[in-house]
């Protein structure tokens, strides 16, 4: 019986967006080497992080240095979850919602977009609110940049879907079906997630510190339930049809995606 592939090396603390992109790239490289579906969300996240860095350089935020700290702190929650999953003796266990995402990577049935969106769902609905309160306890000062970073995120998520159509003939038909049927309207979905994350951050900002762990625990379990619904291969007849037509060559798919995410899609600052 073949042995399991070795886990990725632990990701150490990052302090800049450049270091964050390098760390995400190591996850993608490991996923290609081991044919792991964890690379699907990592590829999406790499594109988003590159775009955030470009938006900062172009002065799209009110406070660029703060938003770099925001982005790095946000990414560390993902990296901490990865570390906890692969190195349980050395790092704290991942949250329940991240564990659902990681468990889903072992399943054959979900389509590529489901793997991506489960990660997006957890990172926005759980991590984003926590990081917003941490970076800016006075939330009102962050509101405009919070909306901008979510608009950047949405433009990159939808951009990945659109560009797969032109760069990967193996996946083109799949995403043409997704767009024609409009089973998932990316911008509307991210807007709803953003608003929910802001309400969560506002709740954390109002609560006394001793209550926050319980609030985060409840939120985590709620998000985990949503992740399970997103990842459910029986979610709709359409997804079953898409799954039958989608390339199941994980390594090939990841290489195509890594080519796509090497540069950002057109960056939008309004959602």
3 state SS of 256: helix
Q: Has this prediction a pTM greater than 0.85?
A: yes
How many angstroms separate the CA atoms of 54 and 271, rounded?
18
| pLDDT of 116 over the 80 cut | yes
**pLDDT of 232 strictly over 80:** no
pLDDT of residue 95: 98
pLDDT at position 91 over 80: yes
Q: Is the pLDDT of residue 121 over 70?
A: yes
pLDDT for the residue numbered 159: 72
At 187 the pLDDT is 66
Contact of 10 with 90, CB cutoff 8 Å: yes
Q: How many residues does the chain have?
A: 271
pLDDT over 90 at 60, yes or no: yes
Is the confidence at residue 90, as pLDDT, over 60? yes
Q: Is the pLDDT of residue 31 over 50?
A: yes
Residues 44-69, mean pLDDT to the nearest whole number: 94
Binned at pLDDT 50, 70 and 90, residue 182 comes out as: very low
* pLDDT at 225 (0 to 100): 95
| The pLDDT of residue 170 | 46
**Higher-pLDDT residue of 231, 68:** 68
Please tell me the least confidently modeled range out of 68-77, 218-227, 259-268.
Answer: 259-268
Mean pLDDT for the stretch of residues 154-165: 72
Arithmetic mean of pLDDT over the chain:
86
Long-range contacts of 228-232 (CB under 8 A, 24+ apart): 228/100, 230/114, 230/117, 230/118, 230/121, 231/100, 231/101, 231/104, 231/107, 231/110, 231/114, 231/115, 231/118, 232/110
Q: Note whether 14 and 23 are within 8 A (CB).
A: yes
The token pair at 78 is 């993902």
Selected residue with higher pLDDT from 162 and 134: 134
* pLDDT at residue 212 is higher than 70: yes
Task: State the CB neighbour count (10 A cutoff) for residue 226.
Answer: 17
Res 171: pLDDT: 52
Residue 261 confidence (pLDDT) above 80: yes
pLDDT band at 185 (very low <50, low <70, confident <90, very high): low
Alpha helices per DSSP H over the chain? 17-34, 38-57, 64-86, 96-104, 112-122, 129-135, 143-167, 169-181, 186-206, 212-231, 237-245, 250-260
- Distance between CA atoms of residues 121 and 105, nearest Å: 15
For 101-113, the pLDDT digits (tens) are: 999 999 888 888 7
């Amino acid at each position: 019986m073949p042995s399991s592939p070795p886990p990725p090396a632990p990701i150490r603390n990052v302090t800049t967006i450049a270091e964050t992109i390098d760390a995400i790239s190591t996850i993608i490289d490991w996923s290609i080497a081991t044919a792991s579906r964890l690379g699907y969300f990592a590829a999406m996240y790499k594109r988003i992080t590159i775009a955030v860095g470009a938006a900062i350089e172009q002065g799209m935020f009110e406070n660029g240095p703060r938003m770099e700290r925001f982005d790095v702190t946000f990414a560390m929650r993902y990296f901490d979850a990865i570390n906890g999953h692969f190195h349980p003796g050395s790092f704290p266990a991942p949250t329940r919602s991240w564990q659902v995402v990681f468990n889903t990577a072992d399943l054959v049935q979900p389509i590529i977009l489901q793997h991506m969106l489960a990660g997006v769902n957890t990172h926005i609905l759980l991590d984003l609110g926590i990081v917003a309160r941490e970076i800016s306890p006075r939330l009102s000062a962050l509101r405009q940049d919070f909306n901008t970073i979510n608009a950047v995120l949405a433009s990159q998520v939808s951009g990945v879907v659109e560009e797969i159509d032109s760069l990967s003939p193996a996946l083109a038909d799949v995403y043409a079906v997704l767009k024609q049927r409009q089973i998932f309207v990316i911008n509307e979905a991210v807007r709803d997630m953003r608003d929910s994350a802001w309400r969560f951050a506002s709740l954390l900002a109002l609560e006394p510190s001793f209550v926050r762990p319980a609030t985060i625990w409840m939120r985590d379990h709620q998000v985990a339930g949503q992740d399970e619904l997103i990842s459910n291969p029986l979610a709709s007849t359409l997804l079953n049809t898409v799954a039958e037509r989608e390339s199941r060559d994980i390594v090939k798919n990841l290489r195509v995606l890594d080519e796509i995410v090497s540069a950002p899609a057109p960056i939008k600052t309004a959602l």
